[in-house]
Every structure is written in structure tokens, then in C-alpha cells.
Chains A and B, each alone.
Chain A
């Protein structure tokens, strides 16, 4: 029998009894992220699934101090936490804003861009489940082309492409930006460990499978996160100072359909061959751009 071992820190910081759905990528990501970041961490959470997942007050599953804050304000509130900790001499504490794609790509991008421009010494994590899942699967600017959501119904799935947030953050020239997913836990842990050691604004974009929103079975969540990487839909990279791109996982380059098939949200898309071709072309183009940026082509 083949045994796969990962070098995962044993300290379990997050508690069981959280309110995440079965197979929730955001919950699994938090468990791993905190193993890397350690207990000397403060979380700042805007309106998102984690506003609920953390558990009913006074209970909290996170295991580290957590500040809830209104939707648009994660990066700004985290800046305030950072400033206060610095004034108190607690410069070693990691301040981590933890937001969904709605709070990052959409309503929170102004505060995030500003914090990145100021190079605030914070780690900003976007767990991207590609729609407003907490409010019932409405489209966000992170929703992919052709996906069903409750505001892009199957008669007219999303006609716009996913916003390239990683490139936007990279354009701020921040010291560290990376993508990660729970399907590659060693890669994810390494990136959080790396981010912890860097000062200045760090951004980690996590693709976070959402079984109810993607219309997949709970036990397939990690499988689909892996398929996203393998089909080059979600390349795993890291970027230093907005310029030095590095591919951290070289994917097997499976066809896009291997990722789309079986996800209920793509049922209508799969019947629209020209749209699949358009999406394939976009993925190829972005992949080529990343290859050029990483110097691998």
C-alpha cells in the first residue's frame, strides 16, 4: 500500500463544531492556514461564509481571536488591528484578513487596493468559492464565464469572464501574492508559512470548492479543486513584488471538460460548445501569460 505523507503541523487550532457545510473548502483552508500561521494570529472577517462558519457567539471555532467587520471593510479593519498591535509593541502577531470572493473581488476591493498600496503589514486571504454563497449563490465578479448562479440563471448563465484579481494585486507590487487550494495541501501550507515570514501586504487567493454552490457532492470538493488545477483553470503560482512569478505546481494539463463535467453549475455551459471553446481559449491565453511571466516559455 502506498502511503502519502504530508508534513502538516500537528497543532489543531480550529475546533470541531463549526457551522461549515460538509466539504466546505473555506473551512478546510482555515484549518490548514492556521496550522501554518500559528496561534499568535488575529483574524479579521467581513461578511462571508466564515461569519457563520465560526459558530454562534459566544462560541468560536477559529481558535484565535477573530473580529467580525462589515462587508466592505476587511482590509481597513485589519489595518487598524495592525496599527494598534504595532503601537502596543506586538509587531510579531500576524494580522490576517479572511474574506470571500464577494468581500474581495467586489465590495471590498477598494479597501484592499488601498491597504496594498500602503503596503500594510497584513496577510489578506481570499477564499474564493466563485459566487455569493452565504447569501444563496448569487454571481460575483469571481464567478466564471458560463456558470449558473441564482442571478445568472441557466437560461442565461454568466456572460462575463472571471476578474483576474491576482494580476490586480500583483500590479500593486506587494511583496507576496500567491494562489493555493486545499487539493494541494503541501503547496498551500508552504505558501502560508512563507507569507507569515514576509512583512508588508501579502495576498493569498485560495480556490475554495463549495458543494452546495457548485452543485457537487461534499466528498468531491477536494477532487474538483484538484481538477481545477490540473485543467489549468486555477494555476498555482506565487509572485514576489509583482514581478517575479513562479509556478509552484506543474499541472498535468487535463482538458477543461474534466473540470466542468459533474458540476451542476456548468450543466448549461456544457451544452454550449462555442462558450466552452471561448472559455478554453481564455484559459489557454492566461496560461500562456503565466508561462511568459514565470519564464517557463
Chain B
């Protein structure tokens, strides 16, 4: 399984990448939505994990754009912080195309199991 991780925070992105790689999952990384869309078109991953607040193209718009090209691809939206609460951003992300959401900070195991679950469901046996 190959996962595309999109997050402008390099520390968060690499932590997620290490976490998934340790679980035997191949990872492609992108630093923002624009780069993420290019990586999506190039790598055609089995699942995407994307942050919401990012420069150039933020996560929700990225999800909307990916959905136009692939309505079934599992997408996990992650976000943290914000006065109006990350629930709001994640709620909108879910409404506009994310398969599921995970507020930051999250339990690493929870992310890995979510990726396995959604990625496994998406991948034909």
C-alpha cells in the first residue's frame, strides 16, 4: 500500500511518514496542496492523509480537487488548532469529500489502524 502524506509542517509530515513506514507502508510526501495534487497524479497512491491549513493550496480545496479525479480514494483529513475549533474545519472536510477525519494531536496507533482499515478496504484483494 502506498500513502500520500500532505502537510506543510515538516516535523509532523516526517513523523507520520516514519510511523507508516514502520508499519510497512510505503509513503510519498508533499509539503502543501499544490505539491500534493502533483504527487497524487504522479504516484496514484492508495490513500491520502492531508492536513487542512497549508500555504498555496489548503487541505479542503485539495480534497475537493482530488475528489473530482477520484471519487473513491480514501482520504483522511487531519487538523489541529484554530479559534473556531478544528472540528469545524474537519467537519467541512468530511462534508466536502474526506473519508474520515482525525483531530491533532492523535494517537499514532489510531492513525496506523485507520490507514490500514481504509487502505485495505480500498485495495482490491
A, B in one complex? no
